């Protein structure tokens, strides 16, 4: 798989608050758009904490977030301004991908399929580990994606959640400096190996 070129998300003279700068968020948003347009392509962010950059870009006071595994501290919640919500009703759900899938996110309705949640899973490493075969819109024929630190129960649950397409969930996998998107339109073939 060809890794996409790195786009800088750190402004010149960036500080610990770089993720909250408008220019940074614009750059990350472009990366996210590309990731969802071309599922399985690993997008590199030129920063030390891709998860914070993704959350800062996607969230604001108009959306809700469930932090299932309590990965955010009080300061992060204050900066994000997102509404806390139970997982069954949240627009976005933050999860530790190495742990089993034990939640039931919003899937949307036939009248409003866009109500399906976006799950943001922290993984150990993109580009190594368990191989996945992806196909669907935005993918020429088939592409391969390897992920380390993703419990296979998330992929099993994803199949169940997305069986009633257009209802379902979209997944964002994020490691320390990279992200990859698995929208509900993407078919994922995998071997059941448990956590890696």
* pLDDT 10s digits, 2-43: 444 334 343 333 445 899 999 999 999 999 999 999 999 999
**Mean pLDDT estimate for the chain:** 90
How many angstroms from the chain centroid is the CA of residue 180? 7
Is residue 185 pLDDT above 90, yes or no?
Answer: yes
Q: How far is CA 18 from CA 7, 73, 121, 130, 178, in A?
A: 14, 18, 22, 32, 16
Q: Domains along the chain?
A: 20-193 (3.40.50.11310)
Range in 79-83, 161-165, 189-193 the model is least confident about: 189-193
- Residues 110-118, mean pLDDT to the nearest whole number: 96
Q: According to the model, what pLDDT value does residue 192 have? A: 46
């Amino acid at each position: 798989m060809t890794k996409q070129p790195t786009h800088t998300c750190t402004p010149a003279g960036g500080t610990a608050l770089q993720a909250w700068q408008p220019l940074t968020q614009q750059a990350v948003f472009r990366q996210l758009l590309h990731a969802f347009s071309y599922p399985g392509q690993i997008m590199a962010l030129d920063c030390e904490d891709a998860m914070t950059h993704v959350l800062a870009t996607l969230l604001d006071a108009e959306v809700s977030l469930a932090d299932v595994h309590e990965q955010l501290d009080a300061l992060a919640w204050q900066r994000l301004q997102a509404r806390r919500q139970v997982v069954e009703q949240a627009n976005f759900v933050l999860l530790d991908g190495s742990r089993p899938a034990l939640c039931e996110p919003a899937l949307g309705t036939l009248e409003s399929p866009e109500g399906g949640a976006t799950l943001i899973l922290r993984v150990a490493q993109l580009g190594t580990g368990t191989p996945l075969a992806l196909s669907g819109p935005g993918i020429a024929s088939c592409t391969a994606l390897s992920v380390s630190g993703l419990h296979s129960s998330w992929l099993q649950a994803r199949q169940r959640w997305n069986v009633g397409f257009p209802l379902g969930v979209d997944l964002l996998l994020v490691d320390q400096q990279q992200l990859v998107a698995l929208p509900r339109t993407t078919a994922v073939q995998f071997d059941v190996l448990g956590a890696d």
